[in-house]
Structure 1
Amino acid sequence: MIKANVPMASLTSFRVGGPAEWYVAPRRIDELHASLEWARSQGLPVTMLGSGSNLLVSDRGIAGLVISTRFLRCASFDETTGQITVGAGEPLPRLAWRLADRGWQGFEWAVGIPGTVGGAVVMNAGAHGDCVADILVDTHVLLPNGSTEILTPDQLRYEYRTSALQGSKKLVTQATFQLNPGANPKELIALTDTHKQQRQRTQPYDFPSCGSVFRNPDPHKAGWLIEQVGLKGHQIGGAQVAQRHANFILNCGGATASDIFQLIRHVQSCVQREWQLWLEPEVKMLGDFQAG
């Protein structure tokens, strides 16, 4: 069902953002097609949304139709090839545990990433030295005209935390990954748990955030650069650079999207002044921030 004026704060991990003019969360591909057709018939722009974990939505909200893929969940295992085909809305941590329990090796690194398969494919999500590009076989994407295209990693032109899908109007509906079946489930579960605990030790989870805010510029880590300019704990409104990990910005209570946006720009300016380096955001920003 398409709904009007749905608050985005409840649909993003930052817990900020104005309303979507129109919003729908289809559970089947045919419902997704119907939603896109409705937007075309109304002449509305379309914004795609996954779990909202790597997203900052303006306080002014989003015009047009927001389509969330969070309920497009399915999983099909091919025991012969060791491949799994998964819906775009499948949460990464849940999939990591499921594969470990099955003894399928290769996805343990994703247990601490608070996103969905669709978003992971678009941004080449990764952790612990592994990433989507290493295991993706192909992905199905839906084009604005309603047709479907199957893309391989080469066609996606994967680089560090980016792909050809970023900024495009193509929507990931499912992805197929190559895993290594036959591993010891107990060992995989233990490794997956180790990755989870390591992430919890080193990253802040006590307040809402979007995960890492900036991409790591070679050869330094963004968090280290931010720490060196003394910005740990720096706060604008309800937004704060995390003490535990400087590449995290936290909503410490009552933050607005404008607070977070201004803090991002302040961090970029300070790092630029000290290191002659402009940090590129990993978080995707939607809406009008200049007008706040």
Structure 2
Amino acid sequence: MIKTPTAQIIPGTQCVISPQVPLNGFTTLNVGGAAQWFVAPESIQDLQAAYRWAQEYDLPITVLGAGSNLLISDQGLPGLVIATKHLRRIKWDKETGQVTAGAGRALPQLAHHAARLGWSGMEWSVGIPGTVGGAVVMNAGAHGGCAADYLVSALVLEPDGCLSVVTGSDLAYGYRSSVLQGTQRLVLQATWQMEPEQDPQRVKATTQEHLNQRLSTQPYHLPSCGSVFRNPQPHTAGWLIEKVGLKGYQIGQAQVAERHANFILNRGGAKAMDVFQLIRHVQACVSERWDVLLHPEVKILGEFA
């Protein structure tokens, strides 16, 4: 008789490591199978302990922030999935004009908080459905701004378990990319340079303007993972997809959005495989028509047979 794995508590910590936790509720697409093991540390120390636990058992590690920009296989993920949702501590330093936020802090929350204080520098991030950690790793950006423009430093957990402080120049930032992608280096918190004591009404107005623009041009009425493809040049991915007539095209319950063709929506009960096949279909159609290979911006994790 095979014993069913049970939850474990790492000695000396508050870390509860649970087996077979469904991940669809942790992603904005609402798709995906279960994590072999799952933990949501409430402190950096507990996260370090969970990291060591995974290394002790030679398990792969996946970090999960807001679950946006992410497609997880219906088969789930092997190893340990670490959710950063509790790492949301935030500190505003009026002397330096800097804000330090935990990896699990949502970018829109940070942008709205800065606007209320009258601090300028995060207006660009108000409509991005991600976290501080994800923004640092992928160089998130919008409205002419991006993480690389404002990052002072980030606290990173290295594969050997030690902590290091890195700067933007250390991360070799490019368009939606950094050297952290595809590694086992985990961002724990980040410090951003702001401009404090600005006109609060002006900052609020700019922040709201950016949010209104995203709400009016992008579909938020159904679950999605945000923009699916990186924008090639000179045309955007959405324009290329629209021009091949794929707006509204559907596989299973996954659909290319009518409002913005670079979004794929879960119309209710979609499987990760539906989304995956739709991504591949869009790539094939755009490649055939325009001789352009669209590169996914969404991170695809797990097995897709």
CA distance in 1, matches of 2:62, 2:142: 27
Q: What is the rounded CA distance, in whole Å, between the counterparts of 2:133 and 2:302 in structure 1?
A: 21
Q: Measure the CA separation in 1 of the matches of 2:56 and 2:96.
A: 42
Structure 1 gaps, min length 5: none
Alpha-carbon distance in 2 for matches of 1:224, 1:40: 44
How far apart in 1 are the matches of 2:64 and 2:134? Answer: 8
- Does residue 140 in structure 1 map to residue 155 in structure 2? yes
Whether 1:95 aligns to 2:110 is yes
Cα deviation 1:152-182 (Å, max 9, x = unaligned): 1111111111111111110000111011111
2:37 aligned partner: 22
- How far apart are residue 141 of structure 1 and its match? 0.8
Separation of aligned partners in 1, 2:166 and 2:286: 37
Aligned twin of 2:65: 50
Q: Which runs of 4+ in 1 moved over 6 A?
A: none
TM-score (norm 1): 0.98
- Please give the residue correspondences for 1:15-164 in structure 2 after superposition, counting only pairs within 5 Å: 15-164=30-179
Name the SS of the counterpart of 2:99 in structure 1: strand
Is the counterpart of residue 173 in structure 1 residue 188 in structure 2?
A: yes
Give the Cα separation in 1 of the matches to 2:250 and 2:114: 40
- Cα distance, 1:149 vs. partner? 1.5
Alignment of 1:113-262 (within 5 A): 113-262=128-277
Cα RMSD for the two superposed structures = 0.8
Task: Give me the whole-angstrom Cα distance separating, in 1, the residues matched to 2:246 and 2:120.
Answer: 39
Q: What amino acid is aligned across from residue 266 of structure 1 in structure 2?
A: H
Cα deviation, residue 199, structure 1: 0.5
Structure-1 residue corresponding to 2:13: none
Aligned to 1:4: 19
Alignment correspondent of 2:280: 265
TM-score normalised by structure 2 residue count: 0.94
Counterpart CA distance in 1 for 2:174 and 2:57 is: 36
**1:203-237 superposed Cα distances (whole Å, 9 cap, x missing partner):** 00111000000000121100000001110000000
Percentage of identical aligned residues: 59
Letter in 1 for 2:53: W
Distance 2:257 2:87 in 1: 33
Give matches, 1:266-281, under 5 Å: 266-281=281-296
Q: Which amino acid aligns with 1:34?
A: A
Structure 2: any 5+ residue segments left out of the alignment? 1-15
